[in-house]
Structure 1
């Protein structure tokens, strides 16, 4: 019996098995990526005009969602100001894009307050509010961080996620615009979203 040939044959079989396992782990697994995380949930809230609004408003067109509040000292006014500017730059190209500003502070942000606030930036942003428990449920379903923080004067402010969420025509998250994102990058993301 030729032991050398047997040893070489075994080492060859082991090498083939290792190569197969490496391929399966690193390459074949790439084509079986898990489904994207489903964000959002059905909701019935109130828009800035006092009318009911549901998750149906987020489908049939590209959308941008921003969660914030009207008493926000910096992040929210900056983001909405920038969004108004991006909408102006997009012009007709962005006519199908809908922008929603969803409050994380429904105790203070009534429909009237939301309308007065958003109209200071552009008529293209729709404010959304509602019962605190319903808003909280929606905020959590989008995995948005929002927390009430007491202030020294006995009032409070809100810590919250500062990114704009970009949704495709099916209401699925496609990308985000980070706070203080480069304007060129933000516009590129919006154009890619609009193009579908």
Structure 2
């Protein structure tokens, strides 16, 4: 039997995630509803006017992929690490109790359905909890999902804040419990970049695997 307090915590997390997502996409100058309405089935931002994306099209609303963070062994890495790949950028943390492992599992499932084409895709998982998530911890965490295609990155608090602000990602640490444990509420969108590093799409928490798969396949053909 689930304890009532656990239900309350779960609902609180869901509500805060929704508020953070609204704040993040609202920072684009477009509400979630208007952004979704104008981006599905319209032009895709590079002049061909074919539209038809399943995910939310953010072409022209977000900057190109750029970061300076700490990768495996603590060495500094930047966007050149994934040059020429379609990139699925996701912000979360290794102590996340629900949405992070679920989202990473979904992305790995999508890559599994790509077959050999998955070699041209990278999942980049950036922590919003650098106090606990060292580069080594991030590497171990993503290796449990997909060591070949997933990259875990950490950094200084300033580096994380800069990157989160760049892509309108909101996050907030909850108050610690008596034993010092705490959760970090954060936006749950997956940012999709094409091979040239341009921000093209955002997959929201409710988007289906098939929608992500179809749009990633389309980007891979370009």
2:154 aligns to what?
A: 129
Question: Which 5+ residue runs of structure 2 have no aligned equivalent?
Answer: 1-46, 48-58
1:109 paired with 2:133, answer: yes
1:182 aligns to what?
A: 208
Query: Counterparts of 1:87 and 1:166 in 2: how far apart (Å)?
Result: 13
Question: Equivalent of 1:167, from 190, 193, 199?
Answer: 193
Query: Counterparts of 1:195 and 1:42 in 2: how far apart (Å)?
Result: 23
Aligned positions, number = 163
SS in 1 for 2:91: strand
1:74 aligns to what?
A: 98
Correspondence 1:1-196 to 2 at 5 A: 36-39=60-63, 42-123=66-147, 124-153=149-178, 154-196=180-222
Poorly superposed stretches of 4+, deviation over 4 Å: none
Contact 2:64–2:199 (CA<8 Å) still a contact in 1? no
SS in 2 for 1:165: strand
1:155–1:88 Cα change, 3 Å: same
Query: Counterparts of 2:190 and 2:126 in 1: how far apart (Å)?
Result: 11
SS in 1 for 2:192: strand
Structural RMSD (CA): 1.9
Write the deviation string for residues 53-88 of structure 1: whole angstroms up to 9, x where unpaired.
113234322111001100101010001111111111
| Deviation (angstroms), 1:111 | 1.0
Larger Rg: 1
Contact 1:84–1:122 (CA<8 Å) still a contact in 2? yes
1:95–1:41 Cα change, 3 Å: closer
Contact 1:111–1:128 (CA<8 Å) still a contact in 2? yes
Deviating more after overlay: 94-103 vs 148-157: 148-157
SS in 2 for 1:150: coil
1:55–1:93 Cα change, 3 Å: closer
Deviating more after overlay: 73-82 vs 36-45: 36-45
Contact 1:111–1:127 (CA<8 Å) still a contact in 2? yes
